[in-house]
Each structure stands twice: as C-alpha cells, then as structure tokens.
Structure 1
Amino acid sequence: MPWKKCSSERLGVLLAILAAFGFSFKAIFVKLAYAVPQAAPVDAITLLSLRMTFALPFFALIAVHASRAAPSLSRRDWLTLVVLGLLGYYGASILDFIGLAYISAGLERLILFTYPTLTVMIGVIFMGKTLQPREIGALLLSYAGIGLVFFHDLEFSGEARSLLIGSLFVFASSLAYAFYLAGSGSMIQRLGSVRFTALAMLVSVLATELHLLVTQPLSALLQPVPVYAYAAAMALFSTVLPVFLQSAAIRRIGATQAVMIGTLGPMLTIAFAWLLLGEPLSLIQLAGVGLVLAGVWLVSRRGPSDRAIAGSLRPRD
C-alpha cells in the first residue's frame, strides 16, 4: 500500500491532517442535527447523549484492551480521572453544544481555539509559570481575531444577545478544556494517552447519561433518523477516529507540529459551514481567522523548558 512507503514524519503529518478534518466537522454535524425538521429541535444534552452512546462501544473496547496488562488504578487515580473526564469531555462538550445553538459554526471553532492561550494562562496563574512576550502577543492576536469574527457575525445576524450568550458558552467550553489539559499531563505520562483518553471518555459518557436521565424524559431519545445519522457520524468521524489519529500523529511528529497542523481546523470548519450550512463568508472573517491562527502559532513556539505545557496543547474536538 502507498502509505506503507511513507516516512514516519510524512505519515504523522497525514494523520494530523485527517484528525483536523474530523474535528472540524463536529460543529457541522451539530448544526445539521439542530436543523432537522421536527416539532421541537433536538436539544443539546440529547444530541450529546446520542453522540456519547454511539462512541461508547469503541472507547469501552479500547479501555479494556489498554488496561489488560496495565497496573491497576489507585483511588486517587480514579478521582483524578473523574474530575478530568467531567471537565474535558462532558463539561466542555455540553457547553459547546449549547453555544452552537446560538452562534455560527465558524465563530464556535475560533473561540474553541483559545484553549492554547487559556492553558498558558492557567499555567501562569496556578502553576507559577512566567508569561513570555510571545504569549502576550498570542493573547492579543487571538482575541482580536475573535472580536473581528464576532462583529462579522453580528453584522449578518443582528442578534447581539444570542451571539453574546453563545460566545460565552463556547468560551466556557474552551476554558473547561484548558483546565482538563493543564491537569492531564501527569496522568497521560502514567497511564499513556490511549488508556487515559478511553477511561476519561467513559467517565464523560456516564455523566452525560446521568444528566439526560435527570433533566429529560427517555422519550427525548426518540428522534428522526437524520438526527441519529448525524450523531453517529459525529461519534465516529469527529470523536473516535480523530482522537486516536491525533495521538498517532503526536507520537510521530510531536505535539507542537501536530498543534500547528491542527490550526487547519477553523479554516476547514468555516469552509464547510459556508458550503453546507450557507453561513456567510467575508474577508473580515478570514482576517479574524488569520489573527487567531497567528496567536496559536506564537503560543506553540516553545523552548525546551516549556515542553511540558506544549505537550498538552493537542487539537480538541
């Protein structure tokens, strides 16, 4: 097969591109599911529950396989896994899904890409790190870019309140994910990225299903076939596959280069949102994308002393 002739680095780049492609489609699937004609559109927790349910068998099998010959976890390990799973895959996801009901897929993806700068800020505030000039520049560039795209969307929609609500929910999602990344480094080193990711995902599945049971009747799971199709596609192509494609890419080319390739995500999301959802596209929006990606590029250029944080800056779903 042709891919077998690729060098490890080229294969890593290809895997990172495929992961970025998968991650970029998540917001598209969510928007398509929200737009399915029915008496009441599917709500965020129901759609997230369907996504997690379809992803559950894959992560359960992977968790069992990865844990087969591994040492057992302590009570403290399980507590850390629960906290991180609630932050990274349950909390961040439900906040993101709620936000997508209010804002465009393109703006959502850009706001999510604040997580590298937020992870740096968490390191500065809680871990005694020093804020470098390039990190200050990254913050200024990223939030200037988001501001441009925000006002671009405001010009086309005219709904300032909805835009603000949605943006705040997605920003809270990015912050939750940044806390997850900041706290996951030691666990990944001890458990390995595959085992840790699978177990954290299982925690999030349980939390999502409990949330659904407490807040919704079981009849909420009765949805039109297209909603099931979008949720299943989201689970496979925007959750399971890209998570492990990204892990494989990081092993071959390193976290920093994988992050840089992952910046394709916002561009892909905006392009597909324009093609498939009819979201407006303008030069101002593209300029905002450029500023955000420049900020990510700046914050990803780290020296040897910063590799611990850089290693956690993986493109998110």
Structure 2
Amino acid sequence: MSVSTLTHDAMKARTTAGLLYALVSATAFGLSGTLARGLLDSGWSAGSAVLVRTALAALVLAVPGFLAVRGRTHVLRDNAALVTAYGVTAVAGAQLCYFYAVTHMQVGVALLIEYTAPVAVVVWLWLRHGSKPSRLTVLGAAIAGTGLVLVLDLFSGAELSTPGVLWALGAMIGAATYFVINADEDNGLPGITLAAGGLLVAAVALGLAGWIGVLPMHAATADAVYDGHTVPWWVPVLALGLVTAAVAYVTGIAAARRLGSRLASFVALMEVLMAVVFAWLLLGELPRGVQLAGGGLVLLGVLVVKLGEGHASPVVEPLPDSRAPVPD
C-alpha cells in the first residue's frame, strides 16, 4: 500500500471522527435550551442557569484538564491570554450577548443573527489566511442559511430592535471566535485543557457580572416540569453542566481540530435542528412542516459545504512545532 493511500485513509478517518464529534457537540448544545426552559419556568433566572452550567462543567473538567498538561504547565502560562479570550468571548460573551438580545427581540431572529457565525468564519479565513471559499462552499452556506430561516420559522414576521441586533451580532462574534480558537492546533493546548480553562474563566466572568448586578441571579428548588413530567431541580442542573457544557465543549474542540473552523462551524448548525427536536420530545412543542423542511435543507447545506472543502483554497498557516504534543 502506497504512502499516499495511507495518508488518504488517515485523513478520511480523521474527518469521519471530526464529523461524529461535531454531531455529538451539536446535539449536546441543542439540549441546553430545553433543559434550561424547565429551570426558568420554575423560578431560575437565565444568568443563574448559565452560571451553574458553566461552573459545574469547569469543576468536572478541571482535574483532567490539568492532568493533560502535567509536567508542562508552561503551555498554560504561554496561552493564558488565549484561554482568557476564549472564556470571556466564546463562552461567557456569546451567552450573555444572546440573553440580552432576546430581551429586545424575538428568540428566532436573535438565533438567526447569531448563527451567521459560519459566514463570519469563512470571511475571517479568507481575509486573514487567504483561504478563499469555493463556489460549493458558498452554495452550501446559502442552502444552510435558507434552511435555518425555515427551522426558526421566521415567516410569521418579526420586529427588529437596534439594541437587539447589536447584542445578537455580539453573540455571533462570540460564536465565530469559538470555532476559530477551537481549530487552532498550534498552541499546544490539549482540547480538554482549553475547554476546562475557558469554562473556568467564563464562570468567573459570569459570577462577577452577577455580583456587580449586570446579570440578574436567582435560583429555586422547585421541581422542573417537562411535557407534564416532573423531575427534581438538580436533574436538569447536572445535565446542563455535564452534557450541554462539559461534553459539548470538549467534543466541539475535538471536531474543529479535525475538520477546521469552516466546516465545523457549518456542522454546528445542526444545534438549531436538535434544539427543535428536543423541544418536541421534552416540551411537547411539535415542529411544523416548514421546520422539518428547513432541517432537511440544513443537512443538505452542510453536505455541500463538506464537498466544497476539497475545492477551497488552502489555509496558509505555520507548521506546528514538531515537539508539541498531539492535541486531544
């Protein structure tokens, strides 16, 4: 078997693994809104739900994240600014901006603006690295964008608010930052360490926001209700921290490092589709036919973007240090 064949097989296996990680991440993230809904209806504030979710995930990942760099903690020191930017912008910032956006405008419109992040990633790679998107990538983006509009069911009409649009754009920047930093393999940080550090920084930032009164904080111990079924409050809290944060961020980083920020950001659009599915299963909110059709278009768009990746201009980046460990 030739070297080129082995290389091709290795790249194919890497891409397949990346797609699986991306789907797990999108599914986990998509569950967060539905789980949080039960807590919000029982008396929790959005800020408290996000803070507990983030802090619990940071606590769970702290030990494995540190063990991953044991003996070479200089990697953490060298990337302190990157981890801080990741936690403040990609984790805490994206969530805070989104929550503020929905106080001024409809949830669907805010989501649509935030999920233009893949387009921002494409533009960033083009301007920063000269990675011009192929026609297939552009076509796939258009198809996925159309499907996203249908999934969010925005045809009933929506009012735009200037503050709301600005906050939603802030959430979009946070989401785009998430994909770009996730895909960086040159910093030497294992994926689980980046996730743990970012979540810890985000938890501190959210805690400070609550302490100074920027973010309302209040919780409750009443049972949460999902489609008529009652569960103790700590069940969705644990699921939010362990599944929709710890698992979601670790697998999201693993996906981006295998797929690149461009493709990973488009596969992540599946989060919106999964959010609709979980709202149907756990909240009894049955998706309309137009939403199901939109989900099909999102899938088609992601497939076209995947095909377009083979025709896109390569990203010009420095070769990683051969002494650096293989990222998780």
Scaled to the shorter chain, the TM-score interval is 0.7 to 0.9
Alpha-carbon displacement from aligned partner over 1:58-112 (angstroms, at most 9, x marks no partner): 12212321221224147662122212221111111223344567656x8877765
Aligned equivalents of 1:283 and 1:166: distance in 2?
28
TM-score for both structures, normalised by structure 2: 0.70
In 2, Cα distance between equivalents of 1:51 and 1:134: 38
Q: Offset of 1:181 from its aligned partner?
A: 2.5
Asked whether the 8 Å contact 1:27–1:100 carries over to 2, the reply is: no
1:139 is paired with a residue whose SS is helix
Partner of 2:122: 120
Question: Retained in 1: the 8 A contact 2:269–2:298?
Answer: no
Give the structure-1-normalised TM-score: 0.72
* Equivalent-residue separation in structure 1 for 2:151 and 2:293 (angstroms): 8
Which residues of 2 match residues 18-33 of structure 1 at below 5 A?
A: 18-33=24-39
1:216–1:167 distance in 2 versus 1, CA, 3 Å: closer
Deviations 1:255-295 (A, max 9, x none): 37977876654333212212322435222222222333333
The structure carrying a bigger helix percent of its residues is: 1
1:274 is matched with 280
On the 8 A contact 1:92/1:172 being kept in 2, the answer is: yes
Q: Deviations over 1:191-249 (max 9, x none)?
A: 1222222222221121111111111699x344234455433321111111233345667
Root-mean-square deviation over aligned CA pairs: 3.8
Residue 25 of structure 1 and its aligned partner are, at CA, apart by 0.6
Partner of 1:224: 221
Distance 1:223 1:194 in 2: 31
Amino acid across the alignment from 2:189: L
Counterparts of 2:215 and 2:147, CA distance in 1: 41
SS at match of 1:281: coil
> Which residue in the other structure is 1:208 paired with?
206
Which residue is equivalent to 2:228? none
> Secondary structure at 1:69's aligned position in 2?
coil
Q: Which residue of 2 aligns with 1:255?
A: 259
Cα 1:132–1:86 shift into 2, 3 Å: same
5+ residue gaps, structure 1: 1-7, 310-317
Asked if the contact 2:28/2:248 (under 8 Å) is kept, the reply is yes
Instruction: For residue 188 of structure 2, give the secondary structure of its aligned residue in structure 1.
Output: helix
How far off is 1:14 after superposition? 6.5
Question: Greater shift after overlay, 15-24 or 54-63?
Answer: 15-24
SS in 2 for 1:24: helix
Aligned pair count reads 290
C-alpha separation between the residues in 2 aligned to 1:273 and 1:223? 22
Q: 1 CA distance for matches of 2:293 and 2:314?
A: 29
- Cα separation, 2, equivalents of 1:196 and 1:217: 25
Q: Deviations over 1:112-161 (max 9, x none)?
A: 554333211222234433232223223322332333345x3453xx6x23
| Aligned match of 1:5 | none
Q: Which residue of 2 aligns with 1:196?
A: 194
The whole-number CA distance in structure 2 between the counterparts of 1:175 and 1:224 is: 34
1:4 — aligned with what? none
Candidates 272, 297, 316, aligned match of 1:291: 297
State which drifts further: 59-68 or 69-78.
69-78
**Cα distance between partner residues in 2 of 1:51 and 1:115:** 23
- What is the 5 A alignment of 1:1-317? 17-36=23-42, 38=43, 42-73=44-75, 77-99=79-101, 103=106, 113-150=115-152, 152-153=153-154, 155=156, 160-161=158-159, 169-170=167-168, 172-186=170-184, 189-215=187-213, 220-225=217-222, 226=224, 228-245=234-251, 254-255=258-259, 264-301=270-307, 302-303=309-310, 306=314
